[in-house]
Amino acid sequence: MNKMFLTLILSCFVFIKIFAQKEGNNVYHSTHKATFYSAVFPGLGQIYNKKAWKVPILYAGVGAMAYAIHFNSKYHKKYKNAYRDFIIRDPANKSYLEFIPSQISEEQIYNERAAWFEEALKSKKQYYRRYKELSYIGMGALYVLQMVDAAVDAHFFNFDISDDLSLMVTPTIANRNKTPCIQMQFTF
User: What pLDDT does residue 12 have?
Assistant: 44
The rounded distance, in Å, linking the Cα atoms of 183 and 19 is 16
What b/e string do you get for 15-24 counting C-beta neighbours within 10 Å, with b at 16 or more? eeeeeeeeee
* 18 band by pLDDT with thresholds 50, 70 and 90: very low
Which range, of 14-23, 50-59, 144-153, 157-166, averages the lowest pLDDT? Answer: 14-23
3-class DSSP state of 15: coil
What's the pLDDT at 101?
A: 87
**Has residue 10 got a pLDDT over 70?**
no
C-beta of residue 93 within 8 angstroms of C-beta of residue 85 = yes
**Per-residue pLDDT tens digits for 31-89:** 999 999 999 999 999 999 999 999 999 999 999 999 999 999 999 999 999 999 999 88
Query: Edge-to-edge strand order for the sheet containing 166-173?
Result: 16-18, 166-173, 180-187
Rounded CA-CA distance 122/158 in Å is: 56
* Helix, strand or coil, per DSSP, at residue 182: strand
pLDDT at 153: 93
pLDDT at residue 84, rounded to an integer: 93
Domain definitions of the chain by residue range: 1-22+162-188, 31-159
- Residue 94 CA from chain centroid, whole number: 44
- Please tell me which residue, 153 or 175, carries the higher pLDDT value: 153
pLDDT of residue 3: 63
Q: Is the pLDDT of residue 103 over 80?
A: yes
pTM: 0.69
- Tell me: the pLDDT tens digits for 122-142? 999 999 999 999 999 999 999
How far apart CA 140 and CA 72 sit, in angstroms, is 16
